[in-house]
Amino acid sequence: MTPDELRERGVRAVALVLVDNAGITRMKCVSIDRLAHAAERGIGWSTVWGLSLADDSFAHVPDV
């Protein structure tokens, strides 16, 4: 279904769901207006969740 079709049905945002390495379910909403961009370019999770730890904290990355 295209963003235009979703908009016609009254959808304003789409929930994107991920289960991380610790088994924690994460969710991020993207507005219909940004959905095509998110599908093409991503929403930044690959960078962030690569640093997530099992205790729901994030690894420290020293300056390189």
pLDDT-derived band of residue 64, with 50, 70 and 90 as boundaries? low
pLDDT digits (tens, 9 = 90+) for 11-55: 999 999 988 777 888 899 999 999 999 999 988 887 777 777 778
**Can you read off the two tokens belonging to residue 55?**
């205790």
Pairwise CA distance, residues 11 & 24, whole Å? 26
pLDDT at 12: 96
Domain spans, the chain: 3-44
pLDDT at 34: 93
Instruction: Evaluate if pTM is beyond 0.75.
Output: no
Which segments within 1-64 are labelled E, that is strand?
13-19, 25-31
pLDDT at 35: 92
